[in-house]
Amino acid sequence: MHVVLTGGAGFLGSQVAQALLEAGEFRDSSGQMRELKKLTIVDLRPPMQRWASDPRVTVALGSLSEPGYVDSLVDDDCASLFHFAAILKADADRDIGAAVRFNVQGLVTLLERCRRIGSKPKFFFASSTGVYENGVRAVGEETRHAPSSSYGAHKAVGELLVSDYTRSGAIDGRGLRFPVVMVRPDRSQTVSDAISALVREPMRGSDVTCPFDPSLRMPVTSVLSAARATVAIHDLPAELLGSRRIANMPCPSVTIGDLVATMARRRMRDERIGAISWRVDEAAMRVFVGRPEEVDPGRGMDLGLPMDQDIDAIIDSFVEAERQSA
């Protein structure tokens, strides 16, 4: 079985790659269990994780917007495709044209290639809670899509395209809307990194300043649960998903105050953990104010998808990942 994973060197994509290699076998669109023989990692940079040396892994460096590139990646033996590559929020808002070419037209190129090979491959699409309208406190599967960013708009369009290509019989599509995914192991320019830094930096012994108001609430998930949920929904029978092919990732909701208090309790037990101070940054707050505060986990739980119990579980997951990578 050949599996293609775009964005496989990224934060979430690399965790999905590891989960795929560990699982080793999956259900194709006909329901048959098949052994993973080849995993093609597609990205602009090579993956640096240990799993990259697995003999089943092939790395293909390049952009989905390059003419003919996708045809060379998605061959007739491709049974599943996981699509995580995207231009993220800040960059998408800065250059909407480039973001549309990559996020929307790149997706169409992948879908068209899957249609032409004619074997109805499974197609996982990574969406986001950014598809929802700002100002709606709690969102569920029936909450209308009204994105307030270019990135959210591209994800909303992507959901419609994946559903339509599934309806037409070209693919067996499915996907998840991810909330804030934690904890990024490296500093980045993503809007969610300031949240990850409140865990990552103190756990590595560095003090950090929190730029958010303690009352700010948001849905969060560990990267491990997000990767496991990706593999889980990929293997679900199509009839369980019905016509609603994209589901919300089940996840807890936490306030920044809860997160900082949890870190403070850990510091009381371990003085090596760094301290967190407060200095609210209005620019940082504007990124998150008005976003959904809670995600109804009902459908995801009914589908059997994993869910972190609380912020402590997310921190524990990060600590274990740090231990394994040491």
Domains of the chain: 2-181+220-248 (3.40.50.720), 182-219+252-293+310-325 (3.90.25.10)
pLDDT value at residue 235: 97
> Per mean pLDDT, which range of 93-102, 249-258, 291-300 is the poorest?
93-102
Is 151 annotated in the active site? yes
Q: pLDDT grade, residue 299 (50/70/90)?
A: very high
pLDDT value at residue 103: 93
DSSP string, 141-191: TTSPB--SSHHHHHHHHHHHHHHHHHHTTS-EEEEEEE-EEE--SS--SST
> Which residues pair with residue 278 across a beta bridge?
210
Is a pLDDT exceeding 80 seen at residue 190?
no
Catalytic, out of 69, 132, 151, 165: 151
pLDDT value at residue 57: 97
Burial label for 168, CB within 10 Å (0-12, 13-18, 19+), is: exposed
> Which residues pair with residue 288 across a beta bridge?
none
Q: pLDDT grade, residue 169 (50/70/90)?
A: very high
Least Cα distance to 186 among 54, 9, 5 occurs for 9
CB 111 within 8 Å of CB 81: no
Is a pLDDT exceeding 90 seen at residue 291?
no
Residues 246-257 have pLDDT tens digits of 999 999 999 999
pLDDT value at residue 308: 97
**Overall average pLDDT of the 58-77 stretch:** 89
Is a pLDDT exceeding 90 seen at residue 204?
yes
**Overall average pLDDT of the 35-44 stretch:** 96
CB 183 within 8 Å of CB 196: yes
What is the amino acid identity at position 312? D
CB 262 within 8 Å of CB 312: yes
pLDDT value at residue 187: 81
Looking at 198-248, which runs of residues are DSSP E strands?
208-210, 217-222, 246-248
Residues 113-136 have pLDDT tens digits of 999 999 999 999 999 999 998 888
Residues 213-248 have pLDDT tens digits of 999 999 999 999 999 999 999 999 999 999 999 999
Q: pLDDT grade, residue 18 (50/70/90)?
A: very high
In this structure, the number of other CB atoms found within 10 A of the CB of residue 250 comes to 25
Residues 78-91 have pLDDT tens digits of 999 999 999 887 78
**Overall average pLDDT of the 43-53 stretch:** 92
Query: β-strand 172-178 against 246-248: which pairing, if any?
Result: parallel
Percent of the chain exceeding pLDDT 70 equals 100
Q: pLDDT grade, residue 92 (50/70/90)?
A: confident
